Structure 1
Amino acid sequence: MREDFLHYVWQFKKYDPALLQTTLGESVQVIHCGQYLQQSGPDFFNAQVVIADQRWAGNVEIHLKSSDWYLHSHEVDPQYDSVILHVVWEHDAEVLRPDGSELPVVALREAVDPSLLLIYQELVRAKTWIPCEKDLATITDFTLSNWKERLFLERLERKSLPIIGLAKETMGDWEAVLFRFLAKNFGLNTNGDLFFTTASAIPFSVLRKESFDLQNLEALLFGSAGMLAGDFEELYPKDLQQRYVYLVQKYQLHQVTLPQAEFFRHRPDNFPTLRLAQLAALYHTHQNLFSKIMHAQATDDFYALFSVTVSPYWNTHYRFDKESVSKRKQLSASFIDLLIINTIVPFKFAYERSLARENVEDLIPLLQQVKPEKNAITDKFARYKVPVTSAYDSQALLQLKNEYCNHYKCLQCAIGLSLLQQ
């Protein structure tokens, strides 16, 4: 058993009130269980209980055993001086207050229906994939819909934290912050960190000044990423080399040593050379990209915004000095969808939060227009009859699997709580 089960029992009063008493035999009536804040200090704050006709107001601490009080060193922590009741599953030791008086203890073992414990144990027992996989299909649409919205918001909050942090570092230069995070997502998982470092090495004021010359933008990006070192045979990369040397001297740019970009296991359309060329084309086409993204609402708006034309050189190349069959190298709809999911929506949310607004009403419909991500997690949920029809669904379910199912947080999950209620 884990403490979260006792938190659930106490919070939702899943005990027989007639059997609730202290280990000294005093009757206990719970007026208010307290606030379950899940932070440092006692588990439930501002509870109200009546013990043997005496009303108490204060905090409640919960443990599996009474002796855990000393195991966790609460006797020397002033935060626990305000505890009025110690709720445990098994009473095995007296707990004394700083003044030497005994802290009232309630042992829940005798007050909880054994069948509830059996349901809980079945729920958290290790399964092939997630604890509730056999029962997922029984969850009502109402429960799942409300929970997905909460999961989606949690995921947005997590994704927005580094964005907000960098916005503070740059004194609110949202255009510069967007450039770095767009670069990271252009690099995908394998080259994302390299691209982010590359973008960070270029002052956005320099990028803005040079944005009217596409080749200068390419020179800045390829040079900062370490892709212009060595001898080239073709004129185009040689020209970019010369431009980069000039731009470094002109702006006194600080050059950093970076690992080589990863080409292995990438389809040619995802080669880092092509992605940097497309990023350069994007910033050559749009000088105020952040404001345009903030005003765009529908997926068609973003498809149009990201429909940019790379340098003619890249229509016949995927890498420097290696000519290929001619092909227009535009960003695909599926790649733009990834940018919407991983950059645009978190940026919209982060910017709203910076203005003390948390409006997600426009973000949910936007992601509902985007196709769901295809991966092992979404495929599994679909197999268990959980609808995955849009990126909104897939984002919520990724949050569910990674932050709840993987850590067996069934009693903090609306689905787990619903199954226990059943």
Structure 2
Amino acid sequence: MLFTEDFLHYVWKFRLFDRIGLQTDDGEELEILSVGMHNTDAGPDFHNARVRIGETVWAGNVEVHLSASDWQKHGHTTDNAYENVILHVVYRNDVPLVLPNGRKVPTLQLHDRVPDELYNRYHQMVFGNQSIIPCENSIAAIDGLIMHNWLTRVLVERLEKRSTAVIERVALNRGDWEETFYQFLAANFGFKTNALPFELMAMSLPQLTLAKHKNNAMQVEAMIFGQAGFLNDDFQDEYPLKLKKEYDFLQKKYQLKPIEKHLWKFMRLRPQNFPTVRLAQFAALIVQSNHLFSKILEIKDVNALRALFTSVKVNDYWTDHYRFDVLSSKPAAKTLGESSIDILLINTLALFLFSYGKQHQQQYYISRSLKLLENLPAEHNNITEDFVTLGLKINNAFESQALLELRNNYCNYKKCLQCGVGNKILKLG
């Protein structure tokens, strides 16, 4: 049988072994009162366990190994952190465990006590030939309540991790949530392809500078396109010529340093997703909505949040242009599409509501973040499509975001033993 130490941890943690007639390696009667708290950091594997050996109840730590000799191999003999181990749990007891002070550590051997069917289910999940995820043949049968509870936990894990970057940036911005929101929103306006140059542009152009010109759309557009590096060319059209003239003045006034134009990517993008169009939309949003983050903290209705983006109107020049000086043969309004707005709501607004609530210890904003995701449609991408193929119904962005985290940080690494879904499948078969 191909065991892993993680599997043995799992067996001990959930007591999934035959507990009838337990004895230590010295033949003393053994009763497990508490397996302890699983420790994923350095030190013994389980803290604060309680066991009865003979007539004595012991409290302390439990260490788990595949073989008893692994204690020596792992360097525990000279580590003081392991002096309080009250029980050594092993699959095979190949050598007795005696500490340097002469104390013999009682050992429990689990060989022949782990059910074959449990091991077979584990082996099939972790070492099988599944094409999508380890539990692809069973996940659709999981009870809806169990799935929802686990996805809720996984979603919170995702938001907790992502909020760390937000809070760190707030600190760099000296506690300025508006500036931080502006920078993250800019990055998400670039979506995946142009996220970096968008973020660099925003960081080179403080929101406070733009706010000074909120009543002059041409100047706001000039600074955004100028800082993006798009106003260094010689133009023929009147609109970019005006932008360049405004930018030349404002660049000197604020000592602005633009980013390099070559950072922007146009290849393999549909014209409506060209960075020039996205920059025009971003500029229009800045003109329309000053102190945007403060508004988001106040607005509760998802449709009202959407309206902040649906009502954005770019300069008329972009109706028949996707690039400067290049007339389009197919004029079209350059409004943000519904799916693009939903992505911004998911990746920026929901994240910032969660981060703000976490930083200020206000559950109200955390709950609003989760509620917002519940009221947004599920994302459509390769990962969500895979789960749909396996028989799951994805109802909203709450679930699609959770499934992204599940796939990327559990399924891809075969962390079935740490997964609520995997645990349920292993226990039930």
What TM bracket, shorter-length normalisation? over 0.9
TM-superposed CA distance for 1:256, in Å, is 4.5
Please tell me whether residue 313 in structure 1 is matched to residue 317 in structure 2: yes
Q: Give how far 1:347 is off.
A: 0.5
1:40 pairs with 2:42:
yes
Structure 1 residues 232 and 134: CA distance shift in structure 2, 3 A: same
Would the aligned equivalents of 2:37 and 2:49 in 1 still touch at CA under 8 Å?
A: yes
1:412 aligns with 2:418: yes
Find out whether 1:322 has 2:322 as its counterpart. Answer: no
The 3 A distance-change label for structure 1 pair 24 and 258 is farther
- Aligned partner of 2:231 in structure 1 is 228
Once residues 168 and 239 of structure 1 are traced to their aligned partners in structure 2, the CA distance between those partners, rounded to angstroms, is 37
**Most deviating of 362-371 and 167-176:** 362-371
Partner of 1:163: 166
For the 8 Å contact 1:302–1:336, the answer to whether it is kept is no
1:26 corresponds in structure 2 to: 28
Aligned to 1:62: 64
CA contact (8 A) 2:193 2:265 kept: yes
Structure 2 match to 1:244: 247
Residues 358-405 of structure 1 deviation map (CA, whole Å, 9 limit, x = unaligned):
444333332222221111211121122111121112111111111111
1:417 CA displacement:
1.0
1:387–1:393 contact (8 Å) kept in structure 2? no
Task: State which of 79, 82, 85 in structure 2 corresponds to 1:83.
Answer: 85
Q: Which of 295, 299, 308 in structure 2 is aligned with 1:296?
A: 299
Q: Deviations over 1:10-59 (max 9, x none)?
A: 11111122243222322221111111242222221111112232221111
CA distance in 2, matches of 1:80, 1:254: 57
Contact 2:201–2:258 (8 Å) recurs in 1: no
Question: 2: CA distance between counterparts of 1:131 and 1:151?
Answer: 17
1:258-269, aligned counterparts within 5 Å?
A: 259-269=262-272
Residue 57 of structure 1 aligns to a residue whose secondary structure is strand
Q: 1:65 to 1:207 in 2, by over 3 A?
A: farther
Matched, 1:339 2:344: yes
Per-residue deviation, 1:258? 6.2
- CA distance 1:357–1:107, change in 2 (3 Å): farther
Aligned residues of 2:61 and 2:86 also touching (Cα < 8 A): yes
Give the whole-Å Cα distance in 2 for the aligned partners of 1:205 and 1:372: 35
In structure 2, distance between residues paired with 1:115 and 1:208? 66
TM-score, normalising length from structure 2? 0.93
2:149 is aligned with 1:143: no
1:77-136 deviation per Cα after TM superposition (whole angstroms, max 9, x unaligned) = 332232222212122334332423232222212322222212211222231111111112
Q: How many residues align?
A: 422
Rounded to whole Å, the distance in 2 between the matches of 1:91 and 1:266 is 61
DSSP-derived class of the 1:362 partner:
helix
The whole-number CA distance in structure 1 between the counterparts of 2:49 and 2:207 is: 53
Q: Give the match for residue 355 of structure 2.
A: 350
Q: Indicate if the aligned counterparts of 2:351 and 2:369 stay in contact, CA closer than 8 A.
A: no
How far does residue 76 in structure 1 lie from its aligned partner after superposition? Answer: 3.1
Superposed CA offset, 1:341-360 (max 9, x none)? 11110100000011113444
**What's the Cα RMSD here?**
1.8
Amino acid at match of 1:56: W
**Is the CA contact (8 Å cut-off) linking 2:118 and 2:427 kept in structure 1?**
no
Counterpart CA distance in 2 for 1:76 and 1:279 is: 60
Cα separation, partners in 2 of 1:357 and 1:76, compared to 1, 3 Å: farther
Instruction: Name the residue aligned to 1:387.
Output: 393
CA distance in 2, matches of 1:53, 1:420: 35
Percentage of identical aligned residues: 41
Q: Tell me the amino acid that sits aligned with residue 343 of structure 2.
A: L
Could you tell me which residue of structure 1 aligns to residue 18 of structure 2?
16
Unaligned runs of 5+ in 2: none
Q: 2:369 aligns with which of 358, 363, 385?
A: 363
Q: CA deviation at 1:143?
A: 0.9
Q: Per-residue displacement from partner, 1:198-228 (whole Å, max 9, x unpaired)?
A: 1111123212222322222222222222222
Corresponding residue SS for 1:297: coil
- The aligned residue for residue 193 of structure 1 is 196
Match of 1:377 in 2: 383
CA gap of 1:241–1:233, structure 2 versus 1, over 3 A, is same
Task: Name the CA shift for 1:197/1:72 in 2 (closer, same or farther; >3 Å).
Answer: farther
Which runs of no fewer than 5 residues in structure 1 stay unpaired?
none
Q: Indicate conservation of the 8 Å contact 2:45/2:63, yes or no.
A: yes
SS in 2 for 1:190: coil
Q: Given the two structures, how large is their TM-score scaled by the length of structure 1? A: 0.95
Q: Which amino acid aligns with 1:314?
A: W
Alignment partners' CA distance in 2, 1:24 and 1:258: 74
